[in-house]
Chain A
């Protein structure tokens, strides 16, 4: 396809080149074109339904042919929720990192919000949204999207905040001394610096989004029954009818969607984000993505970049530079801004005190029986969560270490494990439940299996990473000193993977508490299966619209999670950082 441009004589070759033909370099362009059309069509369809009248009880089809459309709708919800999360993350992280006064309460608040189970937000968010758009489908849709948002946003916000806080001083000063405008600093320093953390947290968040999709697309709220067409509601309907065929179809579709997402979104993004790594030397094995390669070779994308993106970037940069240079002599804190901040602060305090007062009034209505149930549930769920963690650790530590120590095994096992991990456990619940019921086990034990399904992967991946990080010379030192068997585990492997194990366990523990809500209470084949537990209490309270109980149980769970974080995990973290760090 390379031809010299200098030879201008009219050869047959030139004539031939006038005809349209499909040369490989055009293929990416055609694909891009097709994708654009598909996207446009999808937008129109979605706009028609969402702005259409309110239909609370959409009939969820169980035909496999409905699946592509359902998958697209679910994907759209997750996407919108993700975009919202990203915007929120940028704003929240930015303010928390740069406003010392705000930081003092924004970060603890994030800690608490993170520990509130997603489904506890459900009734409040849903009712508010439906009240906002009573006659349009948009209300319920927005409610579902906001719920997914609450499941995705916190860890992203935290990652962005801590990235901003750790930008090296010299880099900041360079930006300042060279007079970067707010915007230039944002796009050339802060965003790139935070990129890697944001990408990985985004992946985790979206995976979490799939997990809660099941619950968010179809639920009962007091006397009202909400249903949204989507993959989650399809699976839930199939499960409650006990339709194994449909369940399998649904799970297969979900796996397909997740694999596609991985190939078309996450791989390219990770490969692209490689350039944001702050490292002194180039790493030898950088991640690759064929989609990214394709995109970088697309001519139409290159044109788009040259004709639209580049001028846009230029004019934004110039606009903010002008603004920055015009206002630089002004002091930052004008009296008006101070007043606005003060009024906002007073309003916030007033609102918070009002809310606290209402909550206390509401909690006063909790009966003794309910308090007893909460205490019992807390104990039961606590046991279940920790048994699940223990079981998870028991099988993942040996397996993870084996995979981590053998590069050959890692090449085969890691992609497989990644696919297995990306299948939301909630989608598998019906299948597992079917088996459990057939075996005759109750939900009391069954829910442990369900918790395990959702959380073991975090531990496994971290153990693999930890085993890989153990330096070869330490392993060799062990062989030379004839340290083998249990001694080798005690002296080398367990201390070596400890920091990673703690990270995995922290994530798994948070996930398990959150998952207990879906695992302990289940509608299946027209029946409600449940077992004693805090998660079940939250689910039931939400189902029956018992707000007092919902509030009380949510607060108990949040308090429990925050307390264990403070008392157990943070200490282990510190221990891991001080005593078990392998660097230097």
Chain B
């Protein structure tokens, strides 16, 4: 494509750790952004969506590969872009007008011209009369309007948006989405393309002319397709639902990792001793229990999409819980359909103490890091070991932020299963008092 504004050529992002170990965040990827389109980049958390956006804008330099704007490397001359941030990123000490004028100041625009352009943009986004207000006096929706105005005032060639509606309540987000579309469709926007990063599938189908779905570990493009529906789009229409279902399926298809294939007995003896630790989804035990109860009460299986709707949850928040249930062997996930297993039913119907036992069994059977922690603790004479040890182990597999999250999840699961206890003051893990291996009913 020669008319592309941005061309990403084999861009890749990885972090090299002190011991030379490489953590790949984004696998080598090609991507073109051309004029006249709204592009939505979808992906679960941890797929490097934001990193990708930052590489395209030149905020972050790829570890290898290059980003070209009109054929020239992005580092040479900063492209004319703007970003709308999830957190708004307004300067709280500047009033609305000053916030919008700030980018023009940076471009050396004279005061009178600056004011004229800022007022015009504020008028476009519906902020008339709020010029002298400070951000803290505004509601979330109004703040994001200021964010839009600040972005539009520089007439960016490509407008980037990083989860622009995620921090807003449902109604406000819907209003702002509609306003954005109106501005774009009526060509009142001085931009030739919009690039939106989001984890909300419906939002993507509602806005996008083209959707790119990222997978994780490492981040890579799993699907890239056009949505040819006319605007305004009807959420209830068959085509719309088809697209949503399609994306759900892509996002929920298990990544090709053995740990994620449910119901399989691990042939532990034949595997090499140093197997890769599976990435634990960041779900808490309470969430897993809740999901299994709902599944069990609802007849044992449900469509993922319907489940998300029933719980009023984003798929991004629901998926980790379902993945956890599949890792533990409590549920299976095929083609967007969640099915509870026999173990899952037993768990859902047990009482608090019995649940802990079942969880413990499942965790020690399926979760590599918990197996490892248990065997190490049992082997040690004092049945305790410092956190550092497991941080070090995880360090070899994950980036440092991810290590924290992995550790936290493992901690949550392990403590619930009463495999070990955590002593935060000394930062040590301690083997729990051996559970009495008897039927829970005979407990005092």
Binding site for B on A (CB under 8 A): 168, 170-171, 173-174, 176-181, 184, 188-189, 192, 195, 275-282, 314, 317-318, 321-322, 324-325, 328-329, 575, 578-579
| CA distance in complex: A523, B358 (Å) | 78
Interface string of B143-156 (1 = CB under 8 A from A): 00000001000100
**Smallest beta-carbon distance A328→chain B, Å:** 6
B111 touches A314 (CB 8 A): yes
A317 touches B105 (CB 8 A): yes
| CA distance in complex: A281, B136 (Å) | 5
Contacts of B108 in A (CB 8 A): 318, 321-322, 325
Interface positions, chain B 46-84, Cβ under 8 Å from A, are: 54, 57, 59, 76-78, 81-83
| CA distance in complex: A321, B86 (Å) | 27
A192 touches B93 (CB 8 A): yes
Known A-B contacts: A178-B103, A318-B108. Give 7 more (CB < 8 A): A178-B82, A178-B102, A184-B102, A188-B102, A276-B93, A278-B92, A325-B107
In this complex, what residue of B is CB-closest to A171?
B89
A170 touches B102 (CB 8 A): no
Interface positions, chain B 197-234, Cβ under 8 Å from A, are: none
Shortest 9 CB-CB distances between A and B: which pairs? A170-B89, A178-B103, A321-B108, A192-B93, A174-B89, A179-B106, A170-B85, A170-B87, A180-B106
| CA distance in complex: A325, B93 (Å) | 25
Contacts of A181 in B (CB 8 A): 106
Contact A173:B134 (CB < 8 A) given known A276-B93, A325-B107, A329-B77: no
In this complex, what residue of A is CB-closest to B153?
A178
B425 touches A321 (CB 8 A): no
Contact of A177 among B81, B94, B134 (CB under 8 A): B81
A168 touches B154 (CB 8 A): no
B77 touches A321 (CB 8 A): no
| CA distance in complex: A104, B77 (Å) | 32
Contact of A279 among B86, B91, B136 (CB under 8 A): B136
Contacts of A171 in B (CB 8 A): 89, 91
Contacts of B82 in A (CB 8 A): 177-178
**Smallest beta-carbon distance B266→chain A, Å:** 37
Interface positions, chain B 91-137, Cβ under 8 Å from A, are: 91-94, 102-103, 105-108, 111, 134, 136-137
B91 touches A189 (CB 8 A): yes
In the complex, whether B434 has a CB less than 8 A from a CB of chain A is: no
**Smallest beta-carbon distance B117→chain A, Å:** 14
Number of CB contacts from chain A to chain B under 8 A? 81
Contact A188:B91 (CB < 8 A) given known A174-B85, A179-B78, A579-B424: yes
B105 touches A173 (CB 8 A): no
**Smallest beta-carbon distance B408→chain A, Å:** 14
| CA distance in complex: A279, B425 (Å) | 32
Contacts of A177 in B (CB 8 A): 57, 59, 81-83
B136 touches A282 (CB 8 A): yes
Contact of A168 among B57, B89, B105, B424 (CB under 8 A): B89
Which of B54, B85, B93 has the most chain A CB atoms closer than 10 A to its own CB?
A: B93
Contacts of A329 in B (CB 8 A): 76-77
**Smallest beta-carbon distance B57→chain A, Å:** 6
**Smallest beta-carbon distance A186→chain B, Å:** 13
Contacts of A184 in B (CB 8 A): 102, 105-106
B134 touches A275 (CB 8 A): yes
**Smallest beta-carbon distance A512→chain B, Å:** 28
**Smallest beta-carbon distance B433→chain A, Å:** 23
Contacts of B76 in A (CB 8 A): 329
Contacts of A578 in B (CB 8 A): 424-425
B107 touches A179 (CB 8 A): yes
Contacts of A176 in B (CB 8 A): 59
| CA distance in complex: A180, B154 (Å) | 13
In this complex, what residue of B is CB-closest to A178?
B103
| CA distance in complex: A179, B105 (Å) | 9
In this complex, what residue of A is CB-closest to B143?
A280
Contact A173:B106 (CB < 8 A) given known A179-B78, A280-B136: no
Contacts of A173 in B (CB 8 A): 54, 59, 83, 85, 89
| CA distance in complex: A177, B89 (Å) | 12
| CA distance in complex: A282, B81 (Å) | 32
**Smallest beta-carbon distance A423→chain B, Å:** 34
B102 touches A180 (CB 8 A): yes
| CA distance in complex: A173, B81 (Å) | 12
| CA distance in complex: A318, B87 (Å) | 29
Contact A321:B106 (CB < 8 A) given known A170-B87, A178-B154: yes
Contacts of A276 in B (CB 8 A): 92-93
Which of A179, A180, A184 has the most chain B CB atoms closer than 10 A to its own CB?
A: A179
In this complex, what residue of A is CB-closest to B57?
A177
Contact A575:B91 (CB < 8 A) given known A180-B102, A184-B105, A322-B108: no
| CA distance in complex: A49, B410 (Å) | 72
A321 touches B91 (CB 8 A): no
B105 touches A321 (CB 8 A): yes
Contacts of A188 in B (CB 8 A): 91, 94, 102
**Smallest beta-carbon distance A181→chain B, Å:** 6
**Smallest beta-carbon distance B50→chain A, Å:** 10
In this complex, what residue of B is CB-closest to A184?
B106
Contact of B137 among A179, A282, A314 (CB under 8 A): A282
**Smallest beta-carbon distance A127→chain B, Å:** 45
A321 touches B107 (CB 8 A): yes
Contact A168:B77 (CB < 8 A) given known A177-B82, A178-B103, A279-B136: no
Contacts of B92 in A (CB 8 A): 275-279
| CA distance in complex: A504, B150 (Å) | 43
Contacts of B91 in A (CB 8 A): 171, 174, 188-189, 192
| CA distance in complex: A176, B61 (Å) | 14
| CA distance in complex: A318, B106 (Å) | 8
**Smallest beta-carbon distance B371→chain A, Å:** 29
Contact A579:B425 (CB < 8 A) given known A173-B83, A178-B82, A180-B102: yes
**Smallest beta-carbon distance B194→chain A, Å:** 15
27 contacts between A and B (CB under 8 A): A170-B87, A170-B88, A173-B83, A173-B89, A174-B85, A174-B91, A174-B150, A178-B82, A178-B106, A178-B154, A179-B78, A179-B103, A180-B106, A184-B102, A189-B91, A192-B91, A275-B93, A276-B93, A278-B92, A280-B136, A282-B136, A322-B108, A324-B106, A328-B77, A329-B76, A575-B425, A578-B424
**Smallest beta-carbon distance A561→chain B, Å:** 26
In this complex, what residue of B is CB-closest to A314?
B111
Contacts of B78 in A (CB 8 A): 179, 328
| CA distance in complex: A189, B425 (Å) | 37
Contacts of A195 in B (CB 8 A): 93
Contacts of B150 in A (CB 8 A): 174, 178
**Smallest beta-carbon distance A574→chain B, Å:** 10
| CA distance in complex: A575, B427 (Å) | 12
| CA distance in complex: A409, B54 (Å) | 53
Contacts of A321 in B (CB 8 A): 105-108
In this complex, what residue of B is CB-closest to A273?
B93
| CA distance in complex: A180, B82 (Å) | 13
| CA distance in complex: A317, B104 (Å) | 11
| CA distance in complex: A277, B134 (Å) | 11
Contacts of A317 in B (CB 8 A): 105
In this complex, what residue of A is CB-closest to B82?
A177
| CA distance in complex: A399, B236 (Å) | 65
| CA distance in complex: A170, B144 (Å) | 14
| CA distance in complex: A579, B424 (Å) | 9
Contacts of B93 in A (CB 8 A): 192, 195, 275-276
**Smallest beta-carbon distance A283→chain B, Å:** 9
In this complex, what residue of A is CB-closest to B427?
A578
**Smallest beta-carbon distance B80→chain A, Å:** 9
In this complex, what residue of B is CB-closest to A274?
B93
**Smallest beta-carbon distance B53→chain A, Å:** 10
| CA distance in complex: A180, B107 (Å) | 8
| CA distance in complex: A449, B87 (Å) | 51
Contacts of A278 in B (CB 8 A): 92
